[in-house]
């Protein structure tokens, strides 16, 4: 049995997980601990980097201890420590990485540096270890919106990305304008459910679907955010119609994400389409993309809910593939980068 300890601190979740792998390479999640700072950042309606880093420093040792205790093992059994080294908030990344550097030195362990987006991609293989390739993945979070071509579990190429805001950021910024709280995605998605088809039609907001007609696989969400702002400024009564704004905004984002993903899947002759990242927790996006793909031969994979938003099980999963390829380093070589590329 190979045990991988995963650690994730790239944004505002302090997370540690232990995964066990047998000869088949199938993952067993022995623990998956996430200490969320959402309550602290809610006051500011967004993540405050310095506060996030201070919280990581306080939480990381208890979270790692809890992950080992829940897994029922001690550090001696760990083969390697997988840690997120970027992209993300640099102060948050450093808090996790420096703890891992010390642990690796004290415990005499190898380190597996993991790209956060590779972690989101690997999340889907935790419970669905058999995928057909090539695959096209939409990784959609608060910090990134990418289309990725995968020729194997751990072999990928970026084929499209957002030119400005990420889709999750569009949810978060819109929620701030609407005054409905942080993080925006879950708030928008909850309120959108209470808007009827009739109401949506009657209000005819018609927010733009940016980049739909462009032939490439890139995205842009900042224009959508501005269009929403103008509509809200014109509508003095908008507070009475929050659900309809939420539903239209959510649908505009979903329309663009799905259209580009299908286009990429067709162009790349994908056998599998993967949806992952924090925004993949959105039930409407999951349902509508599954419906669109139901008529195609393409298989649709999406992570279990607990592995959609930031967690360390996905980092341990991505770390295991790298560990098998011997892509490990010593504590001396560990480096972080806020803009690390896939």
- Residue 186 engages ligand KG4 in binding (rule: CB under 6 A): yes
| Cβ proximity to ligand KG4, 328 vs 340, nearer residue | 340
As measured in angstroms, the least distance from the Cβ of 225 to ligand KG4 is 13
Nearer to ligand KG4, 272 or 282 (CB): 282
Interaction between residue 91 and Zn ion (CB under 5 A) = no
Tell me if 319 contacts ligand KG4 by CB under 6 A.
Answer: no
In this chain, which stretch among 33-41, 258-266, 295-303, 307-315 interacts with Zn ion, using CB under 5 A?
A: 307-315
When binding is defined by CB under 6 A, the residue of 91, 189, 231, 251 that contacts ligand KG4 is 189
212 neighbors 259 (Cβ within 8 angstroms): yes
Question: What is the rounded distance in angstroms from the CA atom of residue 201 to the CA atom of residue 178?
Answer: 20
Least separation in angstroms between residue 255's CB and Zn ion is: 23
Strand order in the sheet with 2-8: 27-36, 13-21, 2-8, 78-86, 110-115
Task: Give the one entry of Zn ion, ligand KG4, none that residue 282 binds, where binding means its C-beta sits below a cut-off of 5 to 8 angstroms depending on kind.
Answer: ligand KG4
243 binds, among Zn ion, ligand KG4, none (CB under 5 to 8 A by kind): none
Q: 138 with 308: CB under 8 angstroms?
A: no
Interface with Zn ion (CB under 5 A), residue from 310, 315, 317, 323: 310
Min dist CB 303 to Zn ion, Å, is 12
Report whether 286 contacts 274 (CB < 8 A): no
CA dihedral 35, 56, 143, 287 (to 10 degrees): -10
Please report which helix (H) or strand (E) contains residue 195, including its range: none
Q: What is the largest CA-CA distance in the chain?
A: 65
Give the contact letters, 275-294, x = binds to ligand KG4 (CB under 6 A), - = no: --xxx-xx------------
Burial level of 187, CB count in 10 A (0-12/13-18/19+)? buried
Span of 57-65, 178-186, 268-276, 305-313 interacting with Zn ion by CB under 5 A: 305-313
Tokens of 143: 């910090």
Cis-peptide, bond into residue 25, ω within 30° of zero: no
Distance, CA of 249 to CA of 192 (rounded, Å):
9
Q: Applying CB under 5 A, which of residues 99, 115, 139, 141 lies at the interface with Zn ion?
A: 141
Give dist(CA 270, CA 151) in Å, integer: 9
Which of Zn ion, ligand KG4, none has residue 84 at its interface (CB below 5 to 8 Å by kind)?
A: none
Interface mask (CB under 6 A) for ligand KG4, residues 136-155, using x and -? Answer: -----xxx------------
Yes or no: say if 181 and 45 are a contact pair by the CB < 8 Å rule.
Answer: yes
Interface residues toward ligand KG4, by CB under 6 A? 11, 141-143, 168, 171-172, 183-186, 189, 277-279, 281-282, 309-310
């Amino acid at each position: 049995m190979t045990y991988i300890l995963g650690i994730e601190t790239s944004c505002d979740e302090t997370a540690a997980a232990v995964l066990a792998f047998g000869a088949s390479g199938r993952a067993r999640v022995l623990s998956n601990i996430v200490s969320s700072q959402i309550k602290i950042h809610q006051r500011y309606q967004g993540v405050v980097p310095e506060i996030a880093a201070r919280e990581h420093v306080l939480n990381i040792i208890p979270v790692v201890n809890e992950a080992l205790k829940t897994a029922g093992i001690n550090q001696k059994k760990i083969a390697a420590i997988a840690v997120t080294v970027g992209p993300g908030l640099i102060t948050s990344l450093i808090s996790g990485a420096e703890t891992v550097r010390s642990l690796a030195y004290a415990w005499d362990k190898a380190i597996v540096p993991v790209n956060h987006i590779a972690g989101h991609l690997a999340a889907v293989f935790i419970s669905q270890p058999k995928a057909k390739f090539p695959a096209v993945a939409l990784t959609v979070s608060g910090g990134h919106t990418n289309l990725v071509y995968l020729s194997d579990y751990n072999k990928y190429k970026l084929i499209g990305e957002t030119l400005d805001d990420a889709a999750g950021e569009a949810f978060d910024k819109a929620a701030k304008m609407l005054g409905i709280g942080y993080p925006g995605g879950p708030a928008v998605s909850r309120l959108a459910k209470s808007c009827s088809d009739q109401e949506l039609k009657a209000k005819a907001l018609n927010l733009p679907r940016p980049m739909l007609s462009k032939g490439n696989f890139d995205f842009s969400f900042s224009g959508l955010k501005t269009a929403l702002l103008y509509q809200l400024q014109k509508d003095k009564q908008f507070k009475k119609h929050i659900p309809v704004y939420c539903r239209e905004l959510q649908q505009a984002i979903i329309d663009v994400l799905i259209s580009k993903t299908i286009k990429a899947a067709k162009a790349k002759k994908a056998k599998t389409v993967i949806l992952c990242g924090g925004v993949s927790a959105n039930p409407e996006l999951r349902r509508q993309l599954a419906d669109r793909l139901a008529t195609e031969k393409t298989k649709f994979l999406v992570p279990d809910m607990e592995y959609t938003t930031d967690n360390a099980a996905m980092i341990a999963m991505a770390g295991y593939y790298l560990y098998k390829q011997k892509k490990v380093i010593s504590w001396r070589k560990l480096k972080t980068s806020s803009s690390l590329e896939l």
